[in-house]
Amino acid sequence: MSNIEPPRLYLTEPEIADICKPLTMPAAQYRFITQRLGMRAARKPSGRVLLARSEFERVLGAPRDDAPAEVMGDLESLRARWNRHGAPA
């Protein structure tokens, strides 16, 4: 059995603190994340920020594991076809 931890769905408090440095107050962190960075976030009952990891990656444009693979193939044949029939619009 392996000791690999599954990825967390939400950012941890230290991760949020690192993003929001030097801000330390939860209300200021929430404003920074939602207004300055444009992310959708919620507040925990404690007032801390609840930010989904997928939202963080969406806004920052991080590559996802399920991103389509780069298309590889015979580029010369493709260029020849485009020359004969025209490139797609």
- For the segment 39-82, what is each residue's pLDDT rounded down to a tens digit? 999 999 999 999 999 999 888 876 655 555 555 566 677 677 76
Both tokens assigned to 15: 């991760």
- pLDDT bin (cut points 50, 70, 90) of residue 25 is very high
User: What value does the mean pLDDT of the chain take?
Assistant: 82
Query: Are the CB atoms for 41 and 55 separated by under 8 Å?
Result: yes
Q: Which residue has the higher pLDDT, 9 or 75?
A: 9
Q: Could you tell me which of 20, 38, 42 has the C-alpha nearest to residue 29?
A: 20
Domain definitions of the chain by residue range: 7-63
55, 39 in Cβ contact below 8 A? yes
Can you read off the two tokens belonging to residue 11?
A: 């950012």
